[in-house]
Each structure stands twice: as structure tokens, then as C-alpha cells.
Chains A and B, each alone.
Chain A
Amino acid sequence: MSNVDLILPLLIVTPILAATLPIALGLWFDRTGWSVTALTTLGLFGAASYLAAEVYAGGEAVTHELGGYPRTYGIQLVSDQFSMLIVLLVTAVALGVLAYTRQGGPRGNTFYTAYLLLVGGLLGISLTGDVFNLFVFLEITSLATYALVASGDGPEAAVASLKYLILGTVAASMYLIGVAFVFMATGTLNMVELSTAIPAAEAQTLIRAGFAFIVVGFAVKVAQWPLHTWQPSAYQQAPDGVTPLIAALVSTASAYAFGRLIVTVFEVEYLAAMPNAAAIVLTVGCVSVLAGTVLAVIQTEVKRMLAYSSVSQFGLVIAAYGVVIADGSRTALIGAAIHLVGHGLLKAGLFLGVALVAASYGARTVDEYAGLATERPVVAGSMAVLLFSLVGVPPGVGFVGKWYIGLGAVQAQLWPVAAVIFLSTMLTLAYAARLLEKMYFTPSAAADRPHAPDPVATDGGDDGRDGSGDADSASREPGAAIAAIRGESSRDPVSTGMVAIVVVAALGAVALGFAGGTIAELLDPFLTEVIN
């Protein structure tokens, strides 16, 4: 295929254009949002898989110059081995979460418009080859996220969203100042052009200042301690169907963009020569790892606990970037890439599980999870697999990422980083074990679940609805669908499909763990290009 590069702009334009459809069609029809979004997301996933096959088989990046303008003053879209990983993650998670929202999530055409805008922005972040264009897509993603967070019930969601908006905008503006400094010194915005122009630039101070601003901007966007304060309340207050999406993708895309700027734009060799660059990135990452896990351990709300856990997991990725800068370590970069993808999948699965439990029992705190294993063994089992994988128990994908990052740190003789990874694993086990203990070893007491919606009992109790009785719950599906149409979603909104998605996420986390070596091989051409 000679026109394979046309897929790149289509991947970005299709969701953004399709985002207008749910609202436009909503003028005539009531429930078109889900079908339009499902079709678009499915198409995006197919196109992304096809593109990925081309990129990985060809061994070289597919590029597209928008409007035919050369990259020196036009915008270039690039899909190489690194960005395709994120594109696949975005489209796959978007598809999975979308399947969940059919029964469980927020409904309404405006929700799906924001959903498609978010997916378009995320794909834009992953595919753009232009630092200013990256800012625009960061802001499109952020805008959609603010809207999705604010769509939660109650005024608390609006407060969380406004906090996120103010911090996120200042962060994106910091990044923009960084871009302005770098542009001032070099006169170009294209990533590939910048990589040759930056070392050759006369005003090196400008570039250093630019890098400093970019680090601060991304530290907020990726939610690094102490700039993470927007993140837990945003994750907690967002609707249950939205949290898996933003937790898995929004910070991941920002972290990817930061890595892309480090390895492709500034380049490892240049940053290694820049005084303190490696030390600063390493410190930010390591401190976040520890602070995030400690804060997660003391939380009582499950969603908040998982949100703080994201702070620490992204700290690991940033620490890996620090190792890459300090030592030019290929292993650490592989680790960062695997951990980004793996963590995205893990968090999507865990938050879907949390949403499912909240939908059926209204359980939100760790204590309310007591006895979940006996009532919903499949969900509890999947969440246990995901939690173990998050801790880093092999063969989960969390282990593979940590292993590569730790190996890179040891090869680089950065013992403190290796120690931090080990310590954070212990602390992660502390909060994961707390939840596991409640689910498996604490019998449920009625008093433990004060928010349990009582109408559950009216349609036959909740035993046998756990996926083990598939036929049983399938027979109830028409009733659930009718209830959903009437808007009585509180009755028992958990369908087999929703359970199945959590199971698929758990299986995916284990499967990706085995695929760690394959991902490392796929990334090889990219690594050879960016690290000598």
C-alpha cells in the first residue's frame, strides 16, 4: 500500500469530526451517541492495528506531511514504533470502556461527543511530530477531560474539574513558554528539525530555560508529586464510567509526550551533557514514587487510593526517563514504554472493576469491599489479578515494566533508583494487600455496606449474577435493558458484558506480561535510532 500514510490524519480527524454527529443527530433521534461512537472507535482500532502492522513489519516510521507542506514549516504526523504502542493502547482502551458504558456508564449524546473529542486529542498527542501542535492536542484532550470530569453527579465534580482546569491550563502554558524559548533559539517547531537545531543553536541558555519550563509543565500534566493535587479529586469525582478512560489514557499520553520530547527532540546525548537535567528528572520521579505510594496507603476510598497509586506508577516512568538521560540506557526506555502501556491497561481494568462494584453495591471505601469474593468471585478474581500485576508479581505486566526499569537503573549504577523501585513495590503491596484482604478474608456484614441499594433484592437477589451463572444473568438481560431505557439504571445495572470486560483486562495484563520480550524487540529499530 502506498497510501498507508493517509491513515495518520484520518486517525485524528475521524473522531473529531464524528464528535459532531451525536449532538447533530441528537436533534432528531434520542439514542444515537453510543452507536456512532462504537462505529468510530471500532474503525479507529482497525485502522490503528493495520498501521501498526505496517510500521512494525516495515521497521521504519510512517510519516505524513499535512497539506503537502514540507516539515520545515508545515505540520508532520509521525507514527513510529514508540507512538504506535500508545495509539494501540488508546484505541483498545477506548473500545473497552465504550463497551462498558453501554450498560454501566454515563449516557447521553453530549457525553459521547466529549468521549470522541478526548480520543481524537489523545491520538493527536501520540501522532504529532510538531511541538506546537502537541500543545494544541494537549489542550483538546484537557478540555474534553474537564468536561467529562464535570459531568459527574453533584457539585463536587464541578469543583474538582475547576481545580484541574486551572492547574492544567497553567501547566500547558508552562509547556508553551518552553516551546517559545526553544523556538526563539532555533526557529523551528518540527521535532526532527529541532533535534539537529538544538545542539547547533547559539543561545544555549534559552534552550535550558525552555527544557526547565517543559519539565515543570509535564510534571503537572503527568501528576508528579507535589504537583499532583488536581489528580485524586478529579479521578474520584469523575463518573465511574469516565475514570477508567482518563486514568488509563490522559496522563499516559502526557507521559509519552514527555518521553518523546526527551528522546527525539532534545536527544539523550544533549540532555546528558546539560548540567543537572538527569538529576532533576530522576529526583522528581523517585520522590513521586515514594510520596504516591505512601499517600495511597493511607486512603480509605478505593478510587482515591488507585488515583494516588497512579502518581507513584507515573513516577516510575519519569524515573526511567531520568535513567535514560543519565546513562543512555535502552533498557530503561523499553521499561518506560512497557510500563506506560501496562499501567494504562491495569488502571483501566481496576477502575472498571471499581465502577462495577459501585454500580451493584454502592461500595466505595476499602471496608465496604468486605466479602466481595464470595458475592462476585469473577470480578474479585480479576481485580486480584490486576492488583497483583500492579504490585509487580510475575507474570503480570507490572513486573515486566519494573524489571526493565530496575535493570536499566542497575546497569547505570543508579542504586538509589533501584532501591526506590524495591521500596515502592513493598508499599504497593501494602495497599493492594489491604484491598485483597477485605475482598477475600473479611466476611461481609450488612452494616459494612450502608449505601447498598436495596431494590437489588426485588429482582431476585444478587447471587448467581457473578458471571459463573452465565445463563442465569443472560436470561435477565432483557429486563435490565428495559430498566435502562426507562432510566432505572439503579436496579441492577451489571450485565455479563460489563463483567467480561474486567476479565478481559485482567487476561490482557497477564498476556502483556508474557509479551514483554516481544515489545522490546518491536521497539528495537526506534531505540537504535534515538540512542547510539
Chain B
Amino acid sequence: MIDLLTSHYTYVLTFVLLGLGIYMVIASENLVKKLIGVNLFQTAIFLFFVSMAYIDADGASAPIVPHHGEPGEVMVASPLPQVIVLTAIVVGIALTAVGLALIIRIYAEYGTLREDTLREVRADE
């Protein structure tokens, strides 16, 4: 158990972050905090991808191969997860932007950022 934790601590941290993110989405009444929770959730997945690339190749360096290196001389982490995470980050940023724009509109209309107040205001109308 201890062995597993010391060698795979990045996975543990990743899933703690995942849990925190989803907890924020569910439990926080503040819309902005909810969105931050979504972001945290996504970021945890990105970190999961990145750490996955490193742990598979034990002791590997960043995936930058020296210009005159011999093949097989340097052990590098798998570049593929890191590249696809870049795309996922872009998607995440776009989502955050759209979400914040929607929150601004909700705030302008209802004058609140809290979900419980929002529910009351909408029920009154």
C-alpha cells in the first residue's frame, strides 16, 4: 500500500483533485465557484494524462530529443498524451469563457450569483 502510494502519488493527487472539483460543482451555491469546480475537474484530468506519460517510462525526461543524440540514448516521456492535453486545455478555456459570459448575463438579469437566491427569484416570477 505504502509502496503504491509513493510510486503512484501523482495518480492519488489527481483523483483527490477530481473529487474536489466535482464536490465544488455539486455543493457550492455560487455560480462562479461552480465553474471553478468544473475547471478543477478538467485540470485534474489533464494532469492525469501528463503524469500517465511519465510514470510509464520510469525516470524519463521531458519529450525533447537532443539534436545529435543516438537513438535510444535518452529516455523520454510519451509526447502523445501531452499533445492531446494541449487540445483539451484549449477546449476547456473556450468552455470557461462561454460559462463566464452566461454568468454575466444571469447576474445582469437577476442581480445574484447564488443558485439558491436565483431559484427564489425565478420562482417569484
Interface residues of A (CB under 8 A from B): 73, 132, 135-136, 139-140, 143, 146-147, 150, 155-156, 158-159, 161-162, 165-166, 169-170, 173, 176-177, 180, 183-184, 189
Contact = CB atoms under 8 A, between A and B. Distances in A.
A170 B95 contact: no
Interface in B6-50: 18, 22, 25, 31, 34-35, 38, 41-42, 45, 48-49
Given A159-B122, A177-B48, A180-B49, A169 B106 contact: no
Contacts of A165: 95, 98-99, 102
Interface string B81-125: 100100110010011001100110110011000000010001000
Which secondary structure dominates chain A's binding surface? helix
Given A139-B95, A169-B95, A146 B45 contact: no
Interface of B: 18, 22, 25, 31, 34-35, 38, 41-42, 45, 48-49, 52, 56, 80-81, 84, 87-88, 91, 94-95, 98-99, 102-103, 105-106, 109-110, 118, 122
Nearest to A167: B25
Given A136-B91, A147-B98, A150-B102, A177 B45 contact: yes
A162 B45 contact: no
Contacts of A136: 87-88, 91
Given A159-B118, A169-B38, A180 B48 contact: yes
B57 to A, nearest CB: 11
A173 B41 contact: yes
- Give me the 5 closest cross-chain CB pairs, A-B, nearest first: A155-B109, A158-B105, A162-B102, A139-B91, A158-B102
B110 A155 contact: yes
Contact of A166 (B25, B56, B88, B94): B25
A185 to B, nearest CB: 11
A170 B88 contact: no
Majority SS at the chain B contact face: helix
A180 B52 contact: yes
A522 to B, nearest CB: 34
Contacts of A189: 80, 84
25 contacts: A132-B87, A135-B88, A139-B95, A143-B95, A146-B98, A155-B109, A156-B122, A161-B102, A162-B99, A165-B102, A166-B25, A166-B34, A166-B38, A166-B99, A169-B38, A169-B95, A170-B25, A170-B38, A173-B38, A173-B41, A173-B45, A176-B88, A177-B18, A180-B81, A189-B80
A162 B103 contact: yes
Contacts of A180: 45, 48-49, 52, 81
Given A169-B95, A184-B52, A162 B106 contact: yes
A25 to B, nearest CB: 23
A146 B102 contact: yes
Contacts of A170: 22, 25, 38, 41
A326 B89 CA distance: 37
B87 to A, nearest CB: 6
B117 to A, nearest CB: 12
A183 B84 CA distance: 12
B106 A176 contact: no
A311 B117 CA distance: 29
Given A162-B99, A166-B38, A173-B41, A155 B87 contact: no
B42 A169 contact: yes
Contacts of B56: 184
B18 to A, nearest CB: 8
B31 to A, nearest CB: 7
Given A147-B98, A176-B88, A155 B81 contact: no
A180 B52 CA distance: 9
A242 B72 CA distance: 55
A162 B41 CA distance: 17
